[in-house]
A and B are shown apart, each in its own frame.
Chain A
Amino acid sequence: MDTKNQFSFQFIFVMLLYLIIVILSVMIISLGKNIYDRINKDRNTNYELRVSLSYIANKIRQSDRDEAVEITELNGVDAVLINELFDDEKYQTWIYFYDGAIYEMFTDADTAFELSDGMKVVDADDFNIEKVRDDLYKFTAVNNEKSSDLYLSLYSKAAGHE
């Protein structure tokens, strides 16, 4: 009788130990997975903020010529308009925020188009364009509740000014 009880007692404790080991193992794997998830999320946020602001910075720096860059409104949203001349033909590049992403549209001058016609550049939760002065603009990109600002200045005359 005692042997039987002793057997049950030891067996239960060993089983309990195994159960604890399995539960702890699952918890530790979950922890590792959460750490990886967080790092991945941070990387995505960092990538989208960096790419969106670097993209707009490069576009503006490449277009710093007389009357080339303009901040205007497009179908109710703020947009950067870059006027270009190729082979005596006028073209326009529109950069705007629409449907959770920054879009770019390259088109003939004064051609009407829908916001959805543009090419998606990078995802973003929000993208704001603000004119601080005639030659200074502030761009704000927001992703995963994290926002980053970038100021850009123009040396040439901005479009639409003396």
Chain B
Amino acid sequence: MNKVALNSKVSLVEIILSVLIFATAGIIMLSCFGIARFTQIRANDKTEAGMIIQSDFEVIKSLKSTVEMHEFLDESYEEKEPGNIYTKYYDENWKQGSDRDYSVTIVIDQENTRSGDLVKINISAEREKPYPFINKGSREIYSIESRKFFPYGGSHE
């Protein structure tokens, strides 16, 4: 009589070994995918933040006086703190709404010259929580510092 015995012990050991290899490699690959995903999100955030910050500055550039500038900032920004610091918030899709995943802050420093106001403007965008998987780097995404001169009596263009 022929006895057929399945060599299942070897197969089981093999499977266990495979699972262990897969688990170890899987941890490394999972973090690699995570870093890739949040690196892409960071690149997207830089582009979006850049467009928002540039747009705000370009609007200020087109205004004729510091009064108009403060009106624009009061209208577009949600919070105002002492020292001419304005802040507005965006959700994860960079839409202004109830969520506060990102913030855009503008700091105005006004210097009166003889013929007008030279305004130092610093606009920066920040993420409220740091990026997961990415340990280094601050929460600041984008920042621009520039100046705008508002002559008394409106601009001459």
A residues neighboring B (CB under 8 Å): 3-4, 7, 10-11, 14, 17, 21, 32, 35, 39, 42-43, 45-46, 49-50, 53, 57, 133, 135-136, 148-153, 155-157
The main secondary structure of chain B at its interface with chain A is helix
CA distance A45 to B3 in the complex (A): 65
CA distance A148 to B15 in the complex (A): 51
- Assess whether A32 is in contact with B47, with CB atoms less than 8 Å apart: no
CB distance from B30 to the nearest CB of A (A): 10
The verdict on B4 contacting chain A, using a C-beta distance below 8 Å, is yes
CA distance A45 to B93 in the complex (A): 14
CA distance A45 to B44 in the complex (A): 9
- Assess whether A151 is in contact with B37, with CB atoms less than 8 Å apart: no
- Assess whether A135 is in contact with B47, with CB atoms less than 8 Å apart: no
Knowing A3-B4, A17-B15 touch, does A136 contact B43 (C-beta < 8 A)? no
B residues neighboring A (CB under 8 Å): 3-6, 8, 11, 15, 18, 29, 33, 36-37, 40-41, 43-44, 47-48, 50-51, 54-56, 58-59, 61-62, 157
Chain A hits for B37, CB < 8 A: 35, 39
CA distance A148 to B55 in the complex (A): 11
CA distance A7 to B6 in the complex (A): 6
